[in-house]
């Protein structure tokens, strides 16, 4: 079996301005395939190598593959579909496979708009892909495709063409059993600009016990599972010694949720002398930082240098349950604690809901100045169609050009301003914030790693600013306030939601409405997220709670339970 995996060539000027990032999914899937005996795997990173369709044609003309698998998040979906279309043209016998978050939830849409996709893998890929490849390898494809869990495909039936989703596959229960094949990546390509070193994206846990209404991550990973911290440290050691990695971020949604394991992880890194060789970053929640105040020096000692906090989204989302007074103070305190521990802290603001005004945007700037994070990030609210908040806001969503669903393009037009003005005001916040930081903060941020790191971040920002890649400013034609009326986001307004997808959502919404009385809305904690951060988790006894689904040990399915709960809470992190 010859298998090709492709990361499509999609770019949008957000997080990627910090460097070239390795596609972790390819290492995880290759590892699983090789463990199962499928060793003939080739990976093409069309994103990092900026490969054109012609370049991909050359690859497909030079080698023959039995299966080609492509990944897609929502904004890269059209590029991913296009790669598989090329495969269908050049190698019509290859089985075309699509995986990742977008296709997992939007399989009706994808299979309607891209009929050349043979099969979609829904959810975590490791076990499902191996089962799929085995089915193909043993000549049981497509005859036995109905019996492989976690797939979606189109087929002809007596009533005409229809889309089939097989039974959901269970989540990967033993994450430690997955051995990612990091060797599949071309490591010299992956550089983190702030530290000018190689970067990796390992993960310690999958899933999130919260159920924020605008986030799709908890739905995707379903139950929360965490690895043995020693094994994660082993992996970091390999990444450092074998691949010369000098910086990593944990891909985890909430790495600090299980404090006991997070501390064990930090202690392992320290015991192995790794902090002298590798620094790292995480996304996490304000409440965890407040809870862990006493441990922040330990975290820093273990090499944690960058924490990105979901600070302000909830206020923007204006959910009734949100207690803003507490949160504002908590945010400020968490930021101070991190700074005092020598950790670079980044505040995330979500802007661009329909009720955004000049004043609310100004308020976020004032908050950023008051809280004094080292870095601030204003992301455009992006209505992932598979989130519960989308269901509530759907009458405000006019744009279904998913390529622009990327945190840097205003998808929703606020009632008080047009999209060009929104972008301009966001840029104004960035300009003022970083101008002050560049002049009065970073150069004086001591003499150690923190200062070096911050100056490195500034370099990445300046580079993206000059190249006009930041926020896709070049693509949309923004050259400063004088151009705000001329900005063109090039939305493809011919893109719509397929009828099959609409029907699917309506059925899901109906199910969730029916389930609501049984599952009252949780209250909201200070930094976002609900209150389901259960004692069991902190005590390292992750079990099936039923409240947010569970680990499946009892046979229940978190996704189903959670969707049925249909509840909303708030908070955000990228």
Residues of this chain that interact with ligand B12 (CB under 6 A) are 10-12, 14-16, 21, 23-25, 28-29, 47, 69-71, 73-76, 97, 99-102, 121, 124-126, 129, 201, 203, 216-217, 251, 253, 384, 406-408, 574
Nearer to ligand SF4, 254 or 292 (CB): 254
347 makes contact with ligand SF4 (CB under 6 A): no
End-to-end CA distance of the chain: 37
Site for ligand SF4 in 236-265 (CB under 6 A): 253-254
Q: Which stretch binds ligand SF4 (CB under 6 A): 93-101, 174-182, 435-443, 566-574?
A: 566-574
Strand partners, 67: 3, 95
CA angle, residues 392, 394, 396, in degrees to nearest 5: 110
Q: Tell whether residue 289 is a contact of ligand SF4 (CB under 6 A).
A: no
Give which of ligand B12, ligand SF4, none residue 505 binds (C-beta under 5 to 8 Å, depending on kind).
none
Pairing of strands 225-226, 205-206: antiparallel
Phi, psi angle pair for 237, to nearest 5°:
-60, -40
Among residues 103, 148, 201, 212, which is the contact residue for ligand SF4, using CB under 6 A? 212
**Shortest reach from residue 275's CB to ligand B12, in Å:** 22
The CA-atom distances, in angstroms, between 286 and each of 363, 368, 440 are: 19, 15, 26
Q: Does 210 bind ligand SF4 (CB under 6 A)?
A: yes
What is the closest distance, in whole angstroms, from the C-beta atom of residue 252 to ligand SF4 in the complex? 9
- Shortest Å distance, C-beta 419 to ligand B12: 16
Residue 125 near which of ligand B12, ligand SF4, none (CB within 5-8 Å, type-dependent):
ligand B12
Shortest CA distance to 530 belongs to which of 287, 283, 260? 287
**Minimum CB distance to ligand SF4 smaller for 365 or for 572:** 572
Stretch that binds ligand SF4, among 53-61, 204-212, 239-247, 389-397 (CB under 6 A): 204-212
Choose between 337 and 473: whose C-beta lies nearer to ligand B12. Answer: 473
Distances from the Cα of 538 to the Cα of 282, 529, 532, angstroms: 18, 16, 11
3-state SS track over 283-352: EECHHHHHHCHHHHHHHHHCCEEEEEEECCHHHHHCCCCCCHHHHHHHHHHHHHHHHHCCCEEEEEEEEC
Bridge partners, 308 (sequence order): 283, 346
- Interface with ligand SF4 (CB under 6 A), residue from 19, 125, 246, 571: 571
498 binds, among ligand B12, ligand SF4, none (CB under 5 to 8 A by kind): none
Binds 218: which of ligand SF4, ligand B12, none (CB < 5-8 Å by kind): ligand SF4
Comparison of 309 and 454: residue with beta carbon closer to ligand SF4: 309
Looking only at the bridges linking them, the beta strands covering 191-192 and 197-200 are antiparallel
The answer to whether 409 contacts ligand SF4 (rule: CB under 6 A) is no
Position among 141, 295, 470, 572 found at the interface with ligand SF4 (CB under 6 A): 572
Owner of token pair 């965890």 = 288
CB of 389 to ligand SF4, least distance (A): 11
Task: Give the span between the Cα atoms of 47 and 23, in whole angstroms.
Answer: 9
CB closer to ligand B12, 25 vs 433: 25
Residue 281's beta-bridge partner residues?
249, 306
**DSSP 8-state secondary structure symbol assigned to residue 19:** B
Task: Decide: is 217 part of the binding site for ligand SF4 (CB under 6 A).
Answer: yes
Which CB atom, from 256 or from 409, has the smaller least distance to ligand SF4?
Answer: 256
Q: Is 529 in the site for ligand SF4 (CB under 6 A)?
A: yes
- Cα 161 to Cα 145: distance, rounded to the nearest angstrom: 16
Closest CA to 223 of 262, 180, 172, 282: 172
Per-residue buried b or exposed e for 333-362, using 16+ beta carbons within 10 Å of the residue's own CB: bbbebbbebbbbbbbbbbbbbeebeeebbe
Which listed option, ligand B12, ligand SF4, none, makes contact with residue 406 (CB within 5 to 8 Å by class)? ligand B12
User: Six-digit token pair at 559?
Assistant: 């996704």
List all residues 6 or more positions away from 388 whose beta carbon is below 8 Å from its beta carbon: 213, 512, 566, 567, 568
Q: What pairing do the DSSP bridges indicate for beta strands 279-284 and 245-249?
A: parallel
What secondary structure letter does DSSP report for 167?
Answer: P
| Residue 218 interacting with ligand SF4 (CB under 6 A) | yes
In this chain, which stretch among 45-53, 154-162, 209-217, 458-466 interacts with ligand SF4, using CB under 6 A?
209-217
Q: Which of 87, 185, 215, 353 binds ligand SF4 (CB under 6 A)?
A: 215
Minimum separation from the CB atom of position 444 to ligand B12 (A): 28
Q: Which is nearer to ligand SF4, 152 or 347 (CB)?
A: 347
Backbone φ, ψ for residue 2 (5° rounding): -100, 120
69 binds, among ligand SF4, ligand B12, none (CB under 5 to 8 A by kind): ligand B12
Residues 6 or more apart whose CB falls under 8 angstroms from that of 560 comprise 168, 549
Q: How far is the CB of 266 from ligand B12 (least distance, A)?
A: 20
Q: Are 82 and 53 in contact (CB under 8 A)?
A: yes
- φ, ψ of residue 58 to 5 degrees: the values are -60, -45
Nearer to ligand B12, 21 or 299 (CB): 21
**φ, ψ at 305 (rounded to 5°):** -115, -15
Give min distance, CB of 7 to ligand B12, in A. 6
Q: What is the smallest separation between the CB atom of 285 and ligand B12, expressed in angstroms?
A: 13
Applying CB under 6 A, the residues found at the interface with ligand SF4 are 208, 210-212, 215, 217-218, 253-254, 529, 571-573
């Amino acid at each position: 079996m010859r298998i090709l995996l492709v990361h499509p060539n999609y770019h949008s000027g957000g997080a990627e301005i910090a460097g070239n990032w390795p596609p972790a999914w390819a290492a995880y899937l290759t590892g699983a395939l090789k463990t199962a005996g499928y060793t003939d795997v080739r990976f093409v990173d069309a994103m990092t190598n900026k490969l054109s369709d012609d370049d991909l044609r050359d690859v497909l003309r030079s080698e023959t593959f039995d299966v080609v698998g492509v990944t897609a998040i929502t904004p890269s979906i059209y590029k991913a579909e296009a790669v598989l279309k090329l495969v269908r043209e050049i190698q019509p016998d290859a089985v075309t496979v699509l995986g990742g978050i977008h296709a997992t939830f939007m399989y009706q849409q994808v299979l309607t708009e891209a009929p050349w996709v043979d099969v979609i893998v829904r959810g975590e890929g490791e076990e499902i892909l191996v089962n799929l490849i085995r089915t193909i390898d043993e000549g049981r494809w497509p005859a036995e495709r109905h019996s492989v869990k976690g797939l979606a495909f189109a087929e002809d039936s007596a009533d005409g063409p229809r889309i089939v989703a097989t039974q959901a596959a269970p989540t990967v229960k033993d994450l430690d059993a997955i051995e990612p094949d990091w060797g599949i990546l071309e490591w010299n390509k992956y550089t983190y600009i702030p530290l000018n070193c190689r970067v990796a994206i390992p993960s310690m846990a999958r899933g999130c016990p919260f159920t924020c209404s605008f986030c799709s991550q908890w739905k995707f990973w379903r139950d929360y599972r965490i690895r043995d911290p020693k094994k994660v440290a082993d992996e970091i050691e390999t990444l450092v010694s074998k691949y010369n990695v000098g910086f990593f971020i944990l891909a985890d949604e909430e790495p600090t949720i299980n404090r006991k394991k997070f501390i064990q992880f930090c202690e392992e890194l320290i015991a192995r002398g790794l902090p002298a060789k590798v620094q790292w970053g995480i996304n996490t929640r304000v409440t965890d930082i407040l809870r862990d105040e006493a441990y922040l020096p330990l975290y820093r000692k273990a090499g944690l240098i960058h924490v990105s906090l979901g600070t302000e989204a909830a206020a923007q989302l204006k959910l009734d349950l949100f207690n803003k007074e507490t949160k504002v103070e908590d945010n400020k305190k968490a930021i101070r604690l991190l700074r005092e521990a020598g950790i670079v802290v980044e505040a995330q603001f979500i802007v661009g809901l329909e009720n955004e005004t000049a004043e609310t945007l100004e308020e976020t700037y004032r908050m950023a100045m008051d809280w004094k994070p080292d870095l601030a990030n204003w992301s455009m609210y992006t209505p992932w169609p598979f989130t519960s908040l989308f269901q509530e806001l759907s009458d405000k969503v006019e744009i279904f050009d998913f390529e622009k669903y990327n945190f840097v393009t205003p998808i929703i037009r606020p009632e008080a301003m047009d999209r060009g003005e929104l972008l301009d005001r966001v840029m104004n916040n960035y300009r003022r914030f970083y101008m002050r930081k560049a002049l009065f903060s970073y150069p004086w941020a001591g003499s150690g790693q923190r200062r070096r790191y911050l100056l490195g971040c500034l370099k990445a920002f300046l580079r993206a600013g000059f190249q006009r890649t930041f926020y896709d400013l070049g693509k949309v034609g923004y050259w400063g306030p004088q151009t705000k009326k001329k900005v063109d986001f090039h939305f493809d307004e011919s893109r719509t939601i397929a009828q099959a997808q609409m029907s699917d959502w309506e059925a899901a919404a109906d199910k969730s409405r029916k389930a609501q009385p049984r599952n009252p809305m949780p209250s909201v904690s200070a930094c976002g997220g609900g209150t389901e951060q259960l004692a069991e988790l902190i005590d390292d006894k992750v079990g099936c709670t039923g409240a947010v689904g569970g680990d499946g040990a009892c046979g229940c399915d978190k996704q189903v339970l959670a969707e049925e709960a249909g509840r909303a809470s708030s908070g955000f992190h990228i």
